[in-house]
Amino acid sequence: MTKANELTASAAQAAIRAGDLTSRQLIDACLDHTQQRDDDVGAWIYLNPEMARAAADEADRIISAGEATGPLHGIPVGLKDIIDTKDMPTEQGSDLFKGRRPVTDSTMTRLLRDAGAIIMGKTVTTEYALTAAGKTRNPHNPDHTPGGSSSGSAAAVADQQIPLSIGSQTGGSMIRPASFCGVHGFKPTFGTISRAGMHPLARPLDHPGIYARSLEDIALMGDVLMSKDPLDLDMRGHPKANLVEAVSKGAVETPPRIAFVKGPMWEAAEPYMGALFEDIVKKLGSTAREVEMAGIFDDALNCHSTIMLANIVANLGDYIRDTPDKVHKETIRRVAQGNGIAAEDYVKAIEFSDTVDAAVDHMFEHCDVIITPAAPGEAPKHVEGTGNAIFQKLWTLTGVPTLTLPKLQGPNGLPIGIQVIGRFGQDATLFRNAMWIENAL
């Protein structure tokens, strides 16, 4: 029999509404499993079982009373610990913010609560969502990294401790951990999920995202979170994404034109990745083919680095100047990389990023969806760090929506994701194309 914590959010939601499961049973199963696994996985920086159980009891009371419920009613979720919660600490993975209690919820937290979700706790993040790793290990093998920076969010969902969680990506922090941990990850179009109440790392690049164990679950949470918020000045005027509707329609009917790209990222790919993707392209059939990336993309990775590092200095520089002993030496090393950047080069990078945007958009005139690895290969050993973000940077820079599908395995038996990339603002279409690809494999 399937344990409640193993259910997807959609299945659990259906069972709760049918009276076959209570939110309390679900929360209890999740908390019990978390307790058993926590020493090995270490996905959580803050858990409050009592508060979660009380919230579940209240959710069950609402169901019994026949009161109105939201789309995530009684479902436990985890939030990366850079996302403010008024009833739990939010420490940014740092010593400096140890014990910090925000006064208000972030917009994401508020939207989740309004939808009926239960915030089960805060998941481990690298310090300030940069590279200094926390305690989390890969649930498939504790010698390996879960990836970063959204380490705990990806690991907790992969390990069936919760069905849904939120992470964020400024370099490659959503899609890479999903690949390493073997879950679905979604980085939506830039500016579609509010970052109000989330610690900023690089405002032009910061994307919140979603982890789940099915596309259906991501759609369920996506429709809740992708809501315009005047508190985030970079929100775009996209209409609601309607991901649930897209997923309910199923895969696109006509086989999509699929472009497999290697690009300048491929230099970092493990030797075994070539054969894995040759096989994928073959399986996807006659509408899939390898497409060479134009020369302009060679400079896109540097452009991403210039923008990210300059913003990191602006956002974290004062912490190091004021309290150097409370900042991890790895964070200090990364911030130092941004110290010498001239404003002139930053302005040129911002300008160039518009050209890269146009070049990516141009690619979509000749294909419907782009695929590429979600990581250079399997998760590296924990001691080697959280892995390389090179396969995400271009799509973070250009803000296009990306999904990763946990479809591949490396030589050590660890998961690897297929990254599926859509056109800017066309998140719903990306889901239907991703469903086609999942079906074809």
* CB neighbour list of residue 199: distance below 8 Å, 6 or more residues apart: 82, 90, 92, 128, 129, 315
CA 44 to each of CA 120, 180, 225: distance values in angstroms, whole numbers, following the listed order? 10, 18, 22
Strand order in the sheet with 258-260: 44-47, 118-123, 76-80, 164-169, 207-212, 184-187, 402-409, 415-421, 369-373, 258-260, 288-290
**Is residue 149 annotated as part of the catalytic site, yes or no?**
yes
- Closest Cα to residue 289, out of 255, 254, 260, 256? 260
Q: Which of 294, 342 has the CB closer to a second copy?
A: 342
Helix (H) or strand (E) holding 222: helix 215-225
Q: Which of 66, 237 has the CB closer to a second copy?
A: 237
164-223: contacts with a second copy (CB under 8 A) = 203
Provide φ and ψ at 44, rounded to 5°.
-110, 140
**Is residue 80 annotated as part of the catalytic site, yes or no?**
yes
Q: Which of 289, 348 has the CB closer to a second copy?
A: 348
Q: Which of 47-55, 164-172, 310-318, 407-415 is the region at the interface with a second copy (rule: CB under 8 A)? A: 310-318
User: Closest separation between CB of residue 228 and a second copy, Å?
Assistant: 13
User: Closest separation between CB of residue 196 and a second copy, Å?
Assistant: 13
Q: 126 with 387: CB under 8 angstroms? A: no
**Among residues 17, 36, 233, 279, the one that binds a second copy under rule CB under 8 A:** 233
Q: Which of 132, 309 has the CB closer to a second copy?
A: 309
- The one catalytic residue in 173, 179, 194, 353 is 173
User: Closest separation between CB of residue 319 and a second copy, Å?
Assistant: 13
Helix (H) or strand (E) holding 274: helix 273-284
User: How many chain residues bind a second copy (CB under 8 A)?
Assistant: 22
Q: Which of 22, 306 has the CB closer to a second copy?
A: 306
- Beta strand pairing status for 44-47 and 118-123? antiparallel
Q: 120 with 47: CB under 8 angstroms? A: yes
For residue 262, count CB atoms less than 10 angstroms from its CB and return exposed for 0-12, middle for 13-18, buried for 19 or more.
Answer: middle
**Among residues 19, 237, 271, 413, the one that binds a second copy under rule CB under 8 A:** 237
90-149: contacts with a second copy (CB under 8 A) = none
User: Closest separation between CB of residue 81 and a second copy, Å?
Assistant: 23
328-367: contacts with a second copy (CB under 8 A) = 338-339, 341-348, 351, 354
User: Closest separation between CB of residue 321 and a second copy, Å?
Assistant: 11
391-410: contacts with a second copy (CB under 8 A) = none
- The one catalytic residue in 10, 80, 94, 168 is 80
- The one catalytic residue in 10, 23, 94, 149 is 149
User: Closest separation between CB of residue 150 and a second copy, Å?
Assistant: 23
**Is residue 173 annotated as part of the catalytic site, yes or no?**
yes
User: Does 310 help bind a second copy (rule: CB under 8 A)?
Assistant: yes
User: Does 299 help bind a second copy (rule: CB under 8 A)?
Assistant: no
Encoded amino acid at 226, one letter: M
- Taking the C-alpha atoms of residue 274 and residue 235, their distance in angstroms, rounded to an integer, is 38
Strand partners, 185: 211, 404
- Taking the C-alpha atoms of residue 387 and residue 173, their distance in angstroms, rounded to an integer, is 10
Q: Which of 124-132, 134-142, 189-197, 308-316 is the region at the interface with a second copy (rule: CB under 8 A)? A: 308-316
Asked if omega into 149 is within 30° of 0 (cis), the reply is yes
User: Closest separation between CB of residue 352 and a second copy, Å?
Assistant: 11
**Among residues 13, 311, 372, 433, the one that binds a second copy under rule CB under 8 A:** 311
Buried b / exposed e along 189-202 (16+ C-beta atoms within 10 A): bbbbbbbbbbbbbb
Helix (H) or strand (E) holding 420: strand 415-421
Q: Which of 139, 171 has the CB closer to a second copy?
A: 171
Q: Which of 278, 351 has the CB closer to a second copy?
A: 351
Interaction site with a second copy (CB under 8 A): 203, 233, 237, 306, 309-311, 313-314, 317, 338-339, 341-348, 351, 354
Catalytically active residues are: 80, 149, 173
